[in-house]
Amino acid sequence: MALLKARREWVFFGTLWRSHRRLTAVWWALILFQGVLPAGFVVAVGSLIGAVADGSPLLAPLLLIGVVFVLMQVTTPLHNQVGSLLGEHVSDRLHDRLLVAAGTPEGLAHLENREHMDELTAARDFDLGMTGPPLHMSMGFIAGGLVEAIAGLAQAVVLAAYAWWAPLLVGGAWLSTHWLLRESTQWDRNTGEVLDAQRRAEYSYRLAVDSPAAKEIRLFGLASWLTDRFASERRTLVELRWHTTRLRQKPMGWAVAVLTVSGGLFFWSLGRDAASGAIDLGQVSTFAYAAVGASALAFGGLNWALSLAADGVAAVLRVERTMSSSAEARSVVSGRTPAEGMPAAEIRFRDVTFAYPGMSAPVLDGLDLTIPAGSSLAVVGVNGAGKSTLVKLLCRLYDPVSGTIEVDGTDLKELDLDSWRRRISAIFQDFIRYELSLKDNVAPLGAVTEEVADALRTAGAADLRDLDRILSSGYENGTDLSGGQWQRVALARVLYAVGRGAGVVVLDEPTAQLDVRGEAEVFDRVLEATRGCTTVLISHRFSTVRRADRICVVDRGRVVELGSHDELMVLGGTYKRLFELQATRFNEEQDGADCAG
Ligand X SMILES: Nc1ncnc2c1ncn2[C@@H]1O[C@H](COP(=O)(O)OP(=O)(O)OP(=O)(O)O)[C@@H](O)[C@H]1O
Beta bridge partners of 402: 353
Q: Which of 383, 463, 476, 517 binds ligand X (CB under 6 A)?
A: 383
Q: Which of 251, 386, 400, 510 binds ligand X (CB under 6 A)?
A: 386
Q: Is the Cβ of residue 150 or residue 363 nearer to ligand X in the bound state? A: 363
Using the contact rule CB under 6 A, the part of the chain among 50-58, 202-210, 287-295, 379-387 near ligand X is 379-387
State how beta strands 364-372 and 376-380 pair.
Answer: unpaired
Q: Is the Cβ of residue 136 or residue 392 nearer to ligand X in the bound state? A: 392
Q: CA 541, CA 257: separation in Å to the nearest integer?
A: 79
Q: Is the Cβ of residue 48 or residue 395 nearer to ligand X in the bound state? A: 395
Return the closest-CA partner of residue 379 out of 506, 503, 492, 494: 506
Query: Residues 529-568 vs ligand X: string with x where CB under 6 A?
Result: ----------------------------------------
Site size for ligand X, by CB under 6 A?
12
Say if CB 138 and CB 87 are below 8 A apart: yes
Torsion of CA 292, 294, 296, 300, to 10 degrees: 180
Say if CB 486 and CB 433 are below 8 A apart: yes
Using the contact rule CB under 6 A, the part of the chain among 136-144, 208-216, 387-395, 409-417 near ligand X is 387-395
Q: Is the Cβ of residue 112 or residue 196 nearer to ligand X in the bound state? A: 112
Using rule CB under 6 A, residue 460 touches ligand X: no
Q: CA 506, CA 497: separation in Å to the nearest integer?
A: 12
CB of 534 to ligand X, least distance (A): 19
Q: Which residues lie closer than 8 Å to 557 by C-beta, 6 or more apart?
A: 353, 362, 363, 364, 365, 366, 367, 385, 386
Using the contact rule CB under 6 A, the part of the chain among 85-93, 325-333, 384-392, 518-526 near ligand X is 384-392
Residues 327-366 interacting with ligand X (rule: CB under 6 A)? 356, 359, 363
Q: Is the Cβ of residue 348 or residue 387 nearer to ligand X in the bound state? A: 387
CB of 388 to ligand X, least distance (A): 3
**How many CB atoms lie under 10 A from the CB of residue 3?**
7
Using the contact rule CB under 6 A, the part of the chain among 2-10, 59-67, 231-239, 376-384 near ligand X is 376-384
Q: Is the Cβ of residue 114 or residue 517 nearer to ligand X in the bound state? A: 114
Q: Which of 15, 19, 388, 539 binds ligand X (CB under 6 A)?
A: 388
Residue 290 has phi, psi (to 5 degrees) of -60, -40
CB of 390 to ligand X, least distance (A): 7
Q: Is the Cβ of residue 286 or residue 511 nearer to ligand X in the bound state? A: 511
Give the 3-state secondary structure of residue 300.
Answer: coil
CB of 428 to ligand X, least distance (A): 10
Give the 3-state secondary structure of residue 553.
Answer: strand
Using rule CB under 6 A, residue 400 touches ligand X: no
**How many CB atoms lie under 10 A from the CB of residue 285?**
19
Return the closest-CA partner of residue 90 out of 12, 28, 16, 8: 16
Find the radius of gyration of the CA atoms of the chain: 35
CB of 542 to ligand X, least distance (A): 14
Return the closest-CA partner of residue 486 out of 507, 511, 520, 505: 511
Q: Which of 262, 389, 425, 535 binds ligand X (CB under 6 A)?
A: 389
CB of 387 to ligand X, least distance (A): 4
Q: Is the Cβ of residue 112 or residue 408 nearer to ligand X in the bound state? A: 112
Q: Is the Cβ of residue 306 or residue 494 nearer to ligand X in the bound state? A: 494
Q: Which of 33, 75, 111, 112 binds ligand X (CB under 6 A)?
A: 112
Angle between helix axes 249-276 and 281-293 (nearest 10 degrees) is 170
Q: H or E stretch including 270? A: helix 249-276
Give the 3-state secondary structure of residue 425.
Answer: strand
**How many CB atoms lie under 10 A from the CB of residue 414?**
15
Using the contact rule CB under 6 A, the part of the chain among 6-14, 222-230, 292-300, 386-394 near ligand X is 386-394
Q: Is the Cβ of residue 28 or residue 356 nearer to ligand X in the bound state? A: 356
Q: Is the Cβ of residue 359 or residue 596 nearer to ligand X in the bound state? A: 359
CB of 536 to ligand X, least distance (A): 12
Using the contact rule CB under 6 A, the part of the chain among 148-156, 299-307, 380-388, 440-448 near ligand X is 380-388
Q: Is the Cβ of residue 125 or residue 365 nearer to ligand X in the bound state? A: 365
**How many CB atoms lie under 10 A from the CB of residue 495?**
26
DSSP string, 207-266: HHH-HHHHHHHHHTT-HHHHHHHHHHHHHHHHHHHHHHHHHTHHHHHHHHHHHHHHHHHH
Residues that bind ligand X (CB under 6 A): 112, 356, 359, 363, 381, 383-389
